[in-house]
Chain A
Amino acid sequence: MTVKPLAMTETSEIDAIDRQIIAATQSGLPLSRNPYHDIARQLDLDVNDVLQRMQNMLDNGIIRRIGVIPNHYKLGYKSNGMSVWNIPEEKISQLGKLVGALDFVSHCYQRPRFLPEWPYNLFAMVHGKTHDEVIEKVATIAALLGDDNRGHKILFSTKILKKTGLRIR
């Protein structure tokens, strides 16, 4: 997708040079001794400019973090279940943070309900080595939520139908 700075409260301004840095690093940093120097050389920029611009993007959340992403599946976490929860609106902020902080939850979001068929407003992705382990971990979440859990389900993925990375041009 093309990156366009929008006049939105959630959106931070980035300029053409930032976009070049994004394009040069979105599929990863070079595995060299001085990766930022290499990016700077490639873009004909000063390394301090690259570092400063990336620091700004880190500060305003355009870069979530810099590091590695382990592949859950390769590390033996072969099962993933999307657990979905029906939580009272007034408690969701407090309980969402609690669930999101658990080390086996990789993503945790509040999403809209579709009543009556879809009463679930909290989504937590749970990873485990087996289905049973995911079920066990979901039971841990249920125990944590107690009476504030008005119903939950685990949706296991049965097949990956498409998987392409998000791309910025």
Chain B
Amino acid sequence: MILHSLDRKIINHLQGGFPLTENPWDELSRQLDIPVDEMICRVERMTSEGILSRFGPIYNAEKMGGGLTLAAMKVATERFDEMTDIVNSFDEVAHNYARDHELNMWFVIATETPEQITQVISKIEKKTGLKVFNMPKQEEYFLELKFEV
């Protein structure tokens, strides 16, 4: 996809920098030298086209008291669809990806409290009869706001 240079400028600038002030667009307009209406229009279009998956605050669920982990399972190929249905049936499973490894199913579990993570994992183990490898993050090393387009 070819992006207009102004779209590029807006994306790069807005990844971490939407001002938290009464008139945020005016401030940006001065910084980027793009009229307010044009900026809003471009962000609106990029959102509706799916170029931007979000515009707004990005919340950290764990800081609000929730539990979050990455879990993996080794699933036999012939039972993969069946096991996918079981795992996906849990509301607490937010994302689930098939990956090319012996541990071939990787999913994110998000719960209201940290304690519920182990409960959900035991339920998944019981229903699937498979071991769940629980891999919660122990440390975070990313800056997140630097995806240059």
Q: Which residues of A contact B (CB under 8 A)?
A: 1-6, 8, 10-12, 14, 22, 25-29, 31-37, 47, 51, 54-55, 57-58, 60-72, 74-76, 82, 92-93, 96-97, 99-101, 103, 105-112, 114, 117-118, 123, 127, 153, 155-166, 168
Q: How far is the CA of A160 from the CA of B36 in the complex (A)?
A: 37
Q: A34-B22, A36-B22 are in contact. Are A67 and B15 (CB under 8 A)?
A: yes
Q: A11-B64, A96-B141, A106-B147 are in contact. Are A71 and B58 (CB under 8 A)?
A: no
Q: Which residues of B contact A (CB under 8 A)?
A: 1, 3, 10-11, 14-18, 20-25, 36, 40, 43-44, 46-47, 49-66, 68, 70, 84, 87-88, 93-103, 105-107, 110-114, 133-149
B110: chain A residues at CB < 8 Å are 1, 166
Q: How far is the CA of A156 from the CA of B97 in the complex (A)?
A: 10
Q: How far is the CA of A74 from the CA of B146 in the complex (A)?
A: 17
**6 nearest A-B residue pairs (beta carbon):** A100-B141, A96-B141, A29-B56, A161-B96, A162-B96, A28-B56
Total contacts A-B at CB 8 Å: 245
Q: How far is the CA of A160 from the CA of B88 in the complex (A)?
A: 11
Q: Are B54 and A68 in contact (CB under 8 A)?
A: yes
Q: Are A67 and B23 in contact (CB under 8 A)?
A: no
Classify the interface of chain A: helix, strand, loop or mixed.
mixed
Q: A67-B14, A100-B142, A101-B143 are in contact. Are A162 and B54 (CB under 8 A)?
A: no
Q: How far is the CA of A32 from the CA of B95 in the complex (A)?
A: 31
Q: Are B95 and A164 in contact (CB under 8 A)?
A: yes
Q: Are B16 and A14 in contact (CB under 8 A)?
A: no
Q: Are B20 and A66 in contact (CB under 8 A)?
A: yes
A28: chain B residues at CB < 8 Å are 47, 54-56
